[in-house]
Chain A
Amino acid sequence: MTLLSVEGLGIAAGVLPLVEDVSFTISPGERVGLIGASGSGKSLTASAVMGLLPEGLTSVGSVRFADRELLGASERELSRLRGKDIAMVFQEPMSALNPSMRVGRQVAEAMLLHGTRDRRGANAAAVELLERVRLPEPERIARAYPHQLSGGQRQRVVLAIALANDPALLICDEPTTALDVTVQARVLELINEGVRDHGSALLFITHDLAVVATVCERVLVMNEGRIVESGSTRDVLSAPKHEYTARLLEASA
């Protein structure tokens, strides 16, 4: 049983190939890491899964999510999935939040939008979600605006929004790169906990091998638009087969 199945995915800017022949699957509840340097195509791969490729890029191949083809699906169909069945956490929490809306409302909106809760239920659930990501005084935080929170707090809010509808798949794109070390540790813990409690599968994108080893059970290593190695985190990172993975490991030691 697979939740997400990517087959022969290729992304190109005009004639310039950016991602070539990428194939992988994710089972329900599985935590998969996608690692590589910037420009390796890992973020583009995630964008393709979400149907959020930047304008001007073309894609070929197939991205199937719960037996539905996402590549070439209509914007309406995709927006019904996004934020409900597939949720995403980005690197920069400030730009993922609406600066002029109280954060509690933003969490509630995520549920109202997909009709998973009524208004009163959504407001209560929002506070509960904020508490679940261990924000202190969740009622007070719910009434705050994003700029009144620290970077780590904002990322927790983003995570609360992402988890609001119990997504089947959570995609995290370098979610802790912009955070302080001590904050990063806590956010990683929360992501781990969140996907476990909600039974979500995880696609975690990072360039940091130590982070991926902390969070994921399986990894895909990308270089120059191709997956060069994949396998269980332990096997790949303790006995890398590909020269590129070995170089990454050496640099991270």
Chain B
Amino acid sequence: MISVTDLERTYRRPRTSLTGPRPEVHALRGVSFDIEKGQRFGIVGESGSGKSTLVRLLAALDRPTSGSISLQGRRIDNLPERRLGFLRSQVQIVFQDPMGSLDPRMRVRDIISEPLGRQPGRRERVRELLDAVGLPADSGERYPHQFSGGQRQRISLARALAPRPSILLADEAVSALDVLVRKQILDLIAELVERYELTLVFVSHDLGVVRRVCDTVAVMRAGEIVELGAVDEVYDDPRHPYTRELIAAAPNLAAALAGLEEE
């Protein structure tokens, strides 16, 4: 479905001195992986690991410095915007910030139908989508600020599903949410992925969250994938020292409670 080979992305920082080259930041340094249709692929990493850069490249919102990305066998990394039409309906994104990802001046129905253009039957589709993400039917007339964080992520999900994509990219989609709401949205994502037979790419800094929705996980650090495998295997038997560090560092309720028992 998605095939990524030797992907590199280098950003140039603004000049810090008049002479000398502009400093470079290697956001991605040689990333390769394949994602099968229907796979739920998690990408875990801390800030600066390059995971967000990778998402933007997969959505063709940015171009790699070198390497290639193919979608169903078609190279997408070198296509001009006007030839990306097929991708624009197939690949959709849900972002982290529940407020910043919705235009405050647009009604919810306009936000959700935005990727649809002037298709007929938009109203019906919006109603259908609101229902699919569990929002009341009259939500369409309201504005984003009238909704809670979790509801806003539901609106984002509805917008992403509008053009009937085959691939859903989630970039820290539940990181800004409270525990209870996080669980609801994770459950919703899992349900939607199943119902619409989506391929999911789920990016998070939280291995525990990835474990709940994904079957495969890639652990990233400093622009590289350090470990890739089935999520349970990676979690139960981490090979790379960094993966072990990540797992050990994550606060673990059961372990912490066990520690309290001993005291």
A–B interface present (Cβ within 8 A):
yes
Question: A residues near B, CB below 8 A?
Answer: 37-38, 151, 180-185, 188, 207-211, 213-214, 217, 233-234, 237-238, 247-253
Return the chain B residue nearest A178 by Cβ: B47
B260 neighbours in A (Cβ, 8 Å): 213, 217, 233-234
B253 and A210 contacting across the interface, CB-CB below 8 Å: yes
B260 CB → nearest A CB, Å: 4
B206 interfacial by beta-carbon distance below 8 Å: yes
B242 CB → nearest A CB, Å: 9
Return the chain B residue nearest A180 by Cβ: B46
A249 neighbours in B (Cβ, 8 Å): 253
B250 interfacial by beta-carbon distance below 8 Å: yes
B238 CB → nearest A CB, Å: 14
B179 and A37 contacting across the interface, CB-CB below 8 Å: yes
B208 CB → nearest A CB, Å: 9
In the complex, which of the residues B251, B253, B257 contacts A184, with contact meaning CB atoms closer than 8 Å?
B251
Return the chain A residue nearest B248 by Cβ: A185
Report the Cα distance A247→B181, complex, angstroms: 11
19 A-B contact pairs sorted by A residue (CB < 8 Å): A151-B47, A184-B249, A207-B178, A207-B179, A208-B179, A209-B179, A210-B250, A211-B251, A213-B251, A213-B253, A213-B260, A234-B257, A234-B261, A237-B257, A238-B257, A247-B180, A250-B183, A251-B179, A252-B179
B141 interfacial by beta-carbon distance below 8 Å: no
A37 and B256 contacting across the interface, CB-CB below 8 Å: no
B163 neighbours in A (Cβ, 8 Å): none
Which residues in chain B, 138-191, are within 8 Å of chain A measured between CB atoms?
149, 178-183
Report the Cα distance A253→B253, complex, angstroms: 7
B251 and A214 contacting across the interface, CB-CB below 8 Å: yes
In the complex, which of the residues A181, A213, A234, A253 contacts B250, with contact meaning CB atoms closer than 8 Å?
A181
B246 interfacial by beta-carbon distance below 8 Å: yes
B179 neighbours in A (Cβ, 8 Å): 37, 207-209, 248, 251-252
Contacts beyond the supplied A180-B47, A208-B179, A213-B253: 19 A-B pairs with Cβ under 8 Å = A37-B178, A37-B180, A37-B181, A151-B47, A181-B250, A182-B245, A182-B246, A185-B248, A185-B249, A185-B251, A209-B179, A210-B253, A213-B251, A214-B256, A234-B257, A234-B260, A237-B253, A248-B180, A251-B182
Return the chain A residue nearest B251 by Cβ: A210
B251 and A208 contacting across the interface, CB-CB below 8 Å: yes
Residues 224-258 of B, flagged 1 when their CB comes within 8 A of A and 0 if not, give: 00000000000000000000011011111100110
A93 CB → nearest B CB, Å: 14
B148 CB → nearest A CB, Å: 8
B180 and A209 contacting across the interface, CB-CB below 8 Å: no
B40 neighbours in A (Cβ, 8 Å): none
> Given A151-B47, A247-B180, A251-B182, is A181 in contact with B249 using a C-beta cutoff of 8 Å?
yes
A188 and B257 contacting across the interface, CB-CB below 8 Å: no
A233 neighbours in B (Cβ, 8 Å): 257, 260
Report the Cα distance A184→B249, complex, angstroms: 8
Report the Cα distance A247→B47, complex, angstroms: 30
B257 neighbours in A (Cβ, 8 Å): 213, 233-234, 237-238
Report the Cα distance A217→B249, complex, angstroms: 20
